Amino acid sequence: MLTLPEKIIFILAALATIAAVAFAIRRLVRLISAGHGKPDWKLAWKRLLNVLGRMVTFQPVFRTRFWPSLFHALVAWGFGFYILVNLLDVVAGFIHGFFIPGFVGDAYRLLADVLSVAVLVGMLFFIFRRFVFRPANLSTRQTTLLSPKARFGIWRDSAIVATFILLHVGSRFVGASLDIAAAGKADPWQPFASLVARLWSGSSPQALGLGEHIAFWLAIGLIMAFMPYFAYSKHVHLFFSPLNFLLKPERRSIGELAYINLDDTSIQQFGASKLNDLGWEQLMDAYACIMCFRCQEACPAYTTGKLLSPAALEINKRYFLNTVNSLKDSPALTEFAIPAEAVWACTSCGACVDICPVGNEPMRDILDIRRSLVLMENTFPKQLETAFRGMERAANPWSLPPTERMKWAEGLKVPTIEQNPEPDVLWWVGCAPATEARAQKTARAFARILTAAGVNFAVLGQNEQCTGDSARRAGREDIFFGLATANVELLNEVKPKRIVTTCPHCLHTLKNEYPAFGGNYEVIHHTQLINELISSGRLPMEPQAAADKSSALVTYHDPCYLGRHNGIYAEPRQVLKEVQADLVEMGLHADKSFCCGAGGAQMWKEEEHGLARVCAERVTEARATGAKTMAVACPFCMIMLTDAAKADGDQIQVVDVAELVAERINPA
């Protein structure tokens, strides 16, 4: 129990801590509020149970790095329980003889004892990992733009926090053992503290009492000393990561971008040039960041040696925010947060957003920075000019005249919407399948499938335009706005019952981004429709000849905009199963799939300098499976991976899922 002078000192120290923390919180709120928009607190109530489940199970963290995740969970669970432990220890310090009786008290003491050891063991693991073994995935290359303050600060913060947790939890644990020693008998509900208590056997009551006081002040005093620093350290993510999940704006997909009304002449800034051009949630991402570098590890650009590191972007934002009290007159993001070359290396694959255990969205920052570079500064890779010009003049990046839009279908029964005005399915063919020679084979295969299954379908023919995906990901919001507005107007006249696409980028845009323009449609991918047709028996398949089965080993590449962006993983694999393909998965598949390198408008430009091409890296991984065939479900993936396979000596054949199905259609 604390003496009266100790109680007074404690109260004064607590008030000073509260004042310092309140100042830090006001500063954080002021900086985050400088971003665009405001949080919708109604979302928090809708998501509360789900977020609590995430916090308790640590589910997002366990997706990669199992052992570090396990020890991280031990520390987090223990430290979370220590909120209660610290509160009750303060009560016990002020109230003589305070004790929780019965089963509740026994369970409390057992949890406190076990979790104390769990935290200490977990922290020792992390200390050895970070400061002794120093794995490369806890930092970034020297060529990456990372604030010098961050390069030193991450290690400094880790050392400070590790020392604090060890001393705080260790002091409390030792204090519990001293209390057991003073009682003169072991406590079966505190087995670990009882073991340590043996060290103090024979000590005088005065020595044990003094030790308990010292342990109390170390444990609780460290909390009060640490709290003001906490708001400036990377460990403030403990507070902001739940807020991230609770308050992030609702999105149909991780890749859905914010609507910009270009008819609004009052808009003076397009995209993000400075920190205060970002949304409030994008500023909060910097504080939620754990600095674990998992997003960097998943990034195909960083993996292949480019300058881009989504982790460095968030970390640089944080360390800059730690140095200012206002965002007024902040420098350009490309000066301190991410270099322009790195901005253009992003494939918008969504891997960084998907893998982040705290819900950060660095990809969104990058695409907003592109908008500003292109629309405000007219700065972009010159190779994009051809695609921009094509979309502006011919409504497609290949500059194909509308009169030639249906040439791919010559010799096939492909009705246009004029010929079949009330189809069950409107097929949005897409620019690549209508234009590019290799992708046209996919379109022709899918047309044969629809015809064989007796599907009542039609295409827009000469009226079909690019959805504008590449323009939007390249920052040309003006081109996208024009294409989206025209396409929605046309589709709303047609009133399609269902839309099927052969391109995941078209799928994503029609399904997730056109609703902002008033276009709400049921949109599916061609692998989903093929799966429906086979499952319903409408598409009879020939059994595979025994002689062919030896060459049926197939690996499937998940397109980023089909998988991570839209959650379509099962149907393409089910179709491959139906054609009796012997599927062997690559190491990176499903939600962890590696990009082909075409997304984010990379299709229309050369990759930034690096150690390897993204598509070549993916083909190397496919070849390592032993498969002779790589199945894809995206025309962009088809083009990129076919190109990489040819450069690799054609050791693996790249085909669309629809082509494999078309080969097996029973003509009878």
pLDDT 10s digits, 395-419: 999 999 999 999 999 999 999 999 9
Average pLDDT on 519-545 reads: 92
Residues facing residue 655 across a β-bridge: 631
Please tell me the predicted confidence (pLDDT) of residue 544. Answer: 66
Average pLDDT on 144-150 reads: 94
The overall average pLDDT reported for the chain is 94
Residues facing residue 608 across a β-bridge: none
Please tell me the predicted confidence (pLDDT) of residue 545. Answer: 56
> Is a pLDDT exceeding 60 seen at residue 549?
no
Spatial CB neighbours of 298, under 8 Å, sequence gap ≥ 6: 351, 352, 354, 355, 592
Q: Running DSSP on this structure, what letter comes out for residue 631?
A: E
**Exposure of 5 in the CB half-sphere (CA atoms within 13 A):** 1
Show the CA angle centred on residue 633, arms to residues 640 and 499, nearest 5°.
125
Please tell me the predicted confidence (pLDDT) of residue 668. Answer: 57
Question: In the chain, how many H helices and how many E strands?
Answer: 27, 8
Token pair 């709120």 in the structure block, residue: 29
Please tell me the predicted confidence (pLDDT) of residue 188. Answer: 95
CB count in 10 Å sphere of residue 583: 17
CB count in 10 Å sphere of residue 572: 27
Least confidently predicted of 234-243, 529-538, 631-640:
234-243
Structure tokens at 363: 């990809």
- Find, among 62, 86, 64, the residue nearest to 74 by Cα: 62
| pLDDT tens sequence across 205-214 | 999 989 998 9
| pLDDT tens sequence across 345-395 | 999 999 999 999 999 999 999 999 999 999 999 999 999 999 999 999 999
* 434, 440 contact by CB (below 8 A): yes
| pLDDT tens sequence across 76-95 | 999 899 999 999 999 999 99
Please provide residue 286's backbone torsions phi and psi, each rounded to the nearest 5 degrees: -60, -35
**Exposure of 181 in the CB half-sphere (CA atoms within 13 A):** 26
Helices assigned H by DSSP within 350-416: 351-355, 362-375, 384-393
Does this model's pTM top 0.85? My answer is: yes
Give the SS3 label for residue 484. helix
Average pLDDT on 175-203 reads: 94
Average pLDDT on 578-593 reads: 94
| pLDDT tens sequence across 456-466 | 999 999 999 99
> Is a pLDDT exceeding 70 seen at residue 10?
yes
Please tell me the predicted confidence (pLDDT) of residue 2. Answer: 86
Please tell me the predicted confidence (pLDDT) of residue 576. Answer: 95
Give the SS3 label for residue 553. strand
